[in-house]
A and B are shown apart, each in its own frame.
Chain A
């Protein structure tokens, strides 16, 4: 089967019921996407599928034929952090970093969907992502800062 990952065409010939998360990490070497719970509760494995945030631990890769998958590795361009990533660096949105890839992808989905720039809307957008370090304030600060820079 064929799918697009981070803009690159990829083919996959393994078991169709392998989790997208494992295919990304093991078959494609994209270990930026993390596993925290394996049951869609923590959001650490969030990637974008056709622009929408999904838990990649809950997606059998067999469903990804022809899909556009985007992971945290796609955000920065050669040596330059995206606006969202820079905001996380400056505002302290990443601490231990394990929830960060998922958090960034959930926030990226919100940004691209033209989501509201209110703290409440940002909290809702990342409410499927658990963080145990930050208490969320700096994450929300980071996303807000990135959204403010948006036209």
Chain B
């Protein structure tokens, strides 16, 4: 039998184009006659728009200007709440909120126009913190500032905590994070025989397709969305393209010409979505041996001014709040609240990194109270086959918490390294303190709860008369390796060589809606659909004696589509949060070895080791790329990245001042791929896209604790914050003695 391509490092389909400069990102398209569009934004965090003044000196007759009044349909960016206007009409609820749009044939002139428009606001008192939002200092959204309130209850946590021999409490805070894809947001739009066509940098063509219909009062067949090569997404191009796509389309409608909009870095950082900041409080009851008796967790996330995807971010957050551990009594509450800051949204991990940071670092606190090793405590409580989760979901297959934990403990030479550090840290001549920290997580693959059922994703394959096979899916390549991975799955399902399978460009006129390219679902869910479709094709081919020509008959091509069906026996109740929250989970562990400079509190990463169970690595190099890349993004969040806000406006919206890691900031991440197949995934594959982001934060905080003795329940752990904590601890010590 021919050796398959699944499990091999097949080369990226789009690789050569990206390496020669031939790949076309949205700004690389020279669209004949296109104008360039820019956005006038709110100068303040909350207020009534009193006046918009245009300097007389500017040649406005050369410009096309669009306002909310020009929107033919409903002025709402369609998502979960439909509460966010495409353009503010009368009031603004966050700084940088779009108010009107300007297009000009010359890009530089369009940018310059922004300096000649002045928005006068009658300021209203804004709510800028989660605390002020919860206390309803002002009600700025709905009746109570709360976008979503979720509760998960299992057993009786209160009673268990009252009786528990040991109770440990902790409060954990994590900040915003900017996706910092290197390609800024950009979209182009035009009308073609009454059809609105939008092309750009995006993750989810069908999200944009759905959002444009109500805005422009167009039926689905009159809207077409095309994917351009996309320079990174990380969630940042999940829902925001609805907004910029709507803007470009509105200008195109008004101008009766194509319009391109591409943000510059500062606008992108100021105005587009970020990771939700969160405060997570734990009360944990344990036996003296460290067995979990009860987990009480309260989660608050800052959603910003509009709902965007906050309810589902919150949902994934609360569903990961337990960490990969079994606990008999659980009481979780999670709320996403409104503030007058730019809306937060999807970002790799989607709520889970926030809650996993808390539960993982909390083990260090518990370990200190119990005077036990935190790794032993994790192992004692870790999920195993047969474990029951907070939602009542009973785990069956592919449960690898203990396996990944043991793999990392072994590979990092845990005990030996810690002993070496103890010696090092005792020596006053050494310029640094060293520490080793670890984290262990699970991460649900695919949409939460019934999400996949509602999506009804469809994907498939086509074959033409010559026998060329194409992957048909709305799932996009944004660097994560979807193209090669999906083609590998199809090739092996058909028994064809990898090179004979190509991937159709995502275009709503030409590919089915395979659901959004998010949630670690593309390989596992869409790959599964493609495998089924390819198997159907294979059967059909066999029926025609293997002849594509005979199979196609009179048609140019034949298409085989598969639609999502939930695995038998799975169920989830959206109201009570009972049931199977995810079809399966990935499991990951990571150890960070670092040192902290005694003079400057600068941290230096010495070694990063991680093991992650992905079920089956369809393309090990792609999987490693996801693990290493996600880990470094997580290390950035843990150590470097900080959005500084003043009056609801980011003060450092530049790559100079919002600092992401360079090649010299990180060691080579050692990624060990664990394969514990999931029977429900294609060739056993589970998701991997998001999990790497969950791990570095708590591991880094644990390593800093090990090095310095400072328990710092927040991120990022900048030298400034370590210094402030060290000085405070020193002052306290002096006060006591």
Direct contact between A and B in the complex (CB less than 8 angstroms)?
yes
B19 contact from A39, A94, A124, Cβ within 8 A? A94
| Complex: chain A residue closest to B264, CB-CB | A38
The size of the chain B interface, using a CB distance under 8 A, is 57
Confirm or deny: B162 has a beta carbon within 8 angstroms of a beta carbon on chain A. no
B18→A92 contact, CB < 8 A: no
From known contacts A41-B656, A44-B182, infer whether A97 and B24 are also in contact, taking CB-CB under 8 Å: no
| Complex: chain B residue closest to A134, CB-CB | B629
B655 contact from A32, A37, A75, A100, Cβ within 8 A? A37
B20 contact from A37, A85, A92, A140, Cβ within 8 A? A85
| Complex: chain B residue closest to A86, CB-CB | B19
Instruction: Give A108 Cβ to nearest chain B Cβ, in Å.
Output: 12
A36→B182 contact, CB < 8 A: yes
Instruction: Give B255 Cβ to nearest chain A Cβ, in Å.
Output: 21
Confirm or deny: B662 has a beta carbon within 8 angstroms of a beta carbon on chain A. yes
Residues 92-141 of A at the B interface (beta carbon under 8 Å): 92, 94-101, 104, 119, 122-124, 126-140
From known contacts A73-B20, A85-B19, A124-B664, infer whether A138 and B621 are also in contact, taking CB-CB under 8 Å: yes
Confirm or deny: A46 has a beta carbon within 8 angstroms of a beta carbon on chain B. no
Contacts of A85 in B (CB 8 A): 16, 19-20
Confirm or deny: B447 has a beta carbon within 8 angstroms of a beta carbon on chain A. no
B632→A98 contact, CB < 8 A: no
A135 contact from B23, B654, B666, Cβ within 8 A? B666
Stretch from B474-482, B485-493, B515-523 that touches the partner: B474-482
Residues 45-85 of A at the B interface (beta carbon under 8 Å): 71-73, 75-76, 81, 85
Instruction: Give A58 Cβ to nearest chain B Cβ, in Å.
Output: 13
| Complex: chain A residue closest to B654, CB-CB | A39
Residues 626-640 of B at the A interface (beta carbon under 8 Å): 628-633
Confirm or deny: B183 has a beta carbon within 8 angstroms of a beta carbon on chain A. yes
Residues 178-199 of B at the A interface (beta carbon under 8 Å): 179-184
Q: How far is the CA of A101 from the CA of B21 in the complex (A)?
A: 7
Residues 590-631 of B at the A interface (beta carbon under 8 Å): 621-622, 624-625, 628-631
Q: How far is the CA of A104 from the CA of B16 in the complex (A)?
A: 13
| Complex: chain B residue closest to A36, CB-CB | B182
From known contacts A89-B11, A135-B666, infer whether A71 and B19 are also in contact, taking CB-CB under 8 Å: no
Contacts of B668 in A (CB 8 A): 119, 137, 140
A31→B19 contact, CB < 8 A: no
Instruction: Give A110 Cβ to nearest chain B Cβ, in Å.
Output: 12
Q: How far is the CA of A136 from the CA of B631 in the complex (A)?
A: 11
| Complex: chain B residue closest to A143, CB-CB | B663
Instruction: Give A77 Cβ to nearest chain B Cβ, in Å.
Output: 11
Confirm or deny: B229 has a beta carbon within 8 angstroms of a beta carbon on chain A. yes
A132→B669 contact, CB < 8 A: no
From known contacts A96-B479, A136-B663, infer whether A72 and B654 are also in contact, taking CB-CB under 8 Å: no
Q: Hey, what's the 0/1 contact readout for B1-34 against A, CB within 8 Å counting as 1?
A: 0000000010110111111111111011010000
Confirm or deny: B265 has a beta carbon within 8 angstroms of a beta carbon on chain A. yes
A137 contact from B231, B628, B662, Cβ within 8 A? B628
From known contacts A34-B231, A71-B21, A98-B231, infer whether A123 and B622 are also in contact, taking CB-CB under 8 Å: no
Q: Hey, what's the 0/1 contact readout for B217-246 against A, CB within 8 Å counting as 1?
A: 000000000000111111000000000000
Instruction: Give B351 Cβ to nearest chain A Cβ, in Å.
Output: 20
Q: Which of A42, A90, A135 has the most CB of B within 10 A?
A: A135
A92→B21 contact, CB < 8 A: no
From known contacts A31-B24, A97-B479, infer whether A135 and B18 are also in contact, taking CB-CB under 8 Å: no
Q: How far is the CA of A38 from the CA of B622 in the complex (A)?
A: 30
List the count of A-B residue pairs having beta carbons below 8 Å apart.
Answer: 170
Q: How far is the CA of A123 from the CA of B24 in the complex (A)?
A: 27
Q: How far is the CA of A132 from the CA of B343 in the complex (A)?
A: 22
Confirm or deny: B461 has a beta carbon within 8 angstroms of a beta carbon on chain A. no
B15 contact from A89, A104, A131, Cβ within 8 A? A89
Confirm or deny: B649 has a beta carbon within 8 angstroms of a beta carbon on chain A. no
Residues 501-526 of B at the A interface (beta carbon under 8 Å): none
Contacts of A95 in B (CB 8 A): 479-481, 625, 629
B25→A34 contact, CB < 8 A: yes
| Complex: chain A residue closest to B179, CB-CB | A132
Confirm or deny: A30 has a beta carbon within 8 angstroms of a beta carbon on chain B. yes
Q: Which of A33, A37, A75 has the most CB of B within 10 A?
A: A37
B11→A99 contact, CB < 8 A: no
B12 contact from A76, A81, A94, Cβ within 8 A? A94
From known contacts A34-B183, A132-B232, infer whether A138 and B18 are also in contact, taking CB-CB under 8 Å: no
Instruction: Give B37 Cβ to nearest chain A Cβ, in Å.
Output: 17
A136→B15 contact, CB < 8 A: no
A97→B229 contact, CB < 8 A: yes
A133→B625 contact, CB < 8 A: yes
A32→B20 contact, CB < 8 A: yes
Contacts of A37 in B (CB 8 A): 265, 654-656
Q: How far is the CA of A130 from the CA of B654 in the complex (A)?
A: 13
A98→B624 contact, CB < 8 A: no
Confirm or deny: B660 has a beta carbon within 8 angstroms of a beta carbon on chain A. yes
Contacts of B480 in A (CB 8 A): 95, 133
B27→A35 contact, CB < 8 A: yes
Contacts of B234 in A (CB 8 A): 132
B662→A127 contact, CB < 8 A: yes
B624→A138 contact, CB < 8 A: yes
| Complex: chain A residue closest to B658, CB-CB | A41
| Complex: chain B residue closest to A139, CB-CB | B663
Instruction: Give A7 Cβ to nearest chain B Cβ, in Å.
Output: 15
A127 contact from B180, B231, B628, B664, Cβ within 8 A? B664
B663 contact from A35, A38, A133, A140, Cβ within 8 A? A140
Q: How far is the CA of A134 from the CA of B621 in the complex (A)?
A: 11
Contacts of A39 in B (CB 8 A): 265, 654-656
B22→A32 contact, CB < 8 A: yes
From known contacts A94-B12, A138-B621, infer whether A41 and B21 are also in contact, taking CB-CB under 8 Å: no
From known contacts A95-B480, A96-B479, A98-B232, infer whether A127 and B16 are also in contact, taking CB-CB under 8 Å: no
Contacts of B662 in A (CB 8 A): 127-130, 136
B663→A127 contact, CB < 8 A: yes
Contacts of A132 in B (CB 8 A): 179-182, 232, 234, 629, 633, 660
B231→A136 contact, CB < 8 A: no
| Complex: chain B residue closest to A98, CB-CB | B231
Q: How far is the CA of A88 from the CA of B511 in the complex (A)?
A: 30
Instruction: Give A39 Cβ to nearest chain B Cβ, in Å.
Output: 6
Q: How far is the CA of A147 from the CA of B82 in the complex (A)?
A: 54
From known contacts A35-B27, A95-B479, A97-B23, infer whether A89 and B16 are also in contact, taking CB-CB under 8 Å: yes
A138→B183 contact, CB < 8 A: no
Q: How far is the CA of A137 from the CA of B629 in the complex (A)?
A: 8
Q: How far is the CA of A73 from the CA of B265 in the complex (A)?
A: 25
| Complex: chain B residue closest to A95, CB-CB | B479
A126→B655 contact, CB < 8 A: no
| Complex: chain B residue closest to A74, CB-CB | B21
A30→B21 contact, CB < 8 A: yes
Q: Which of B19, B229, B480, B661 has the most CB of A within 10 A?
A: B19
Q: How far is the CA of A139 from the CA of B630 in the complex (A)?
A: 15
| Complex: chain A residue closest to B633, CB-CB | A132
B481→A36 contact, CB < 8 A: no
B25→A138 contact, CB < 8 A: no
Contacts of A38 in B (CB 8 A): 264-265
> Can you give 15 contacting A-B residue pairs, CB < 8 Å?
A37-B654, A39-B656, A41-B656, A85-B19, A90-B11, A92-B625, A96-B231, A97-B23, A98-B25, A98-B232, A123-B663, A128-B662, A130-B662, A132-B181, A135-B630
Beyond the given A97-B231, A132-B660, please list 20 additional residue pairs across the A-B interface where CB-CB is below 8 A: A31-B27, A34-B183, A35-B27, A36-B183, A39-B656, A85-B16, A90-B11, A92-B9, A94-B18, A95-B479, A96-B183, A97-B23, A97-B479, A99-B231, A119-B668, A127-B663, A131-B663, A133-B625, A134-B629, A135-B666
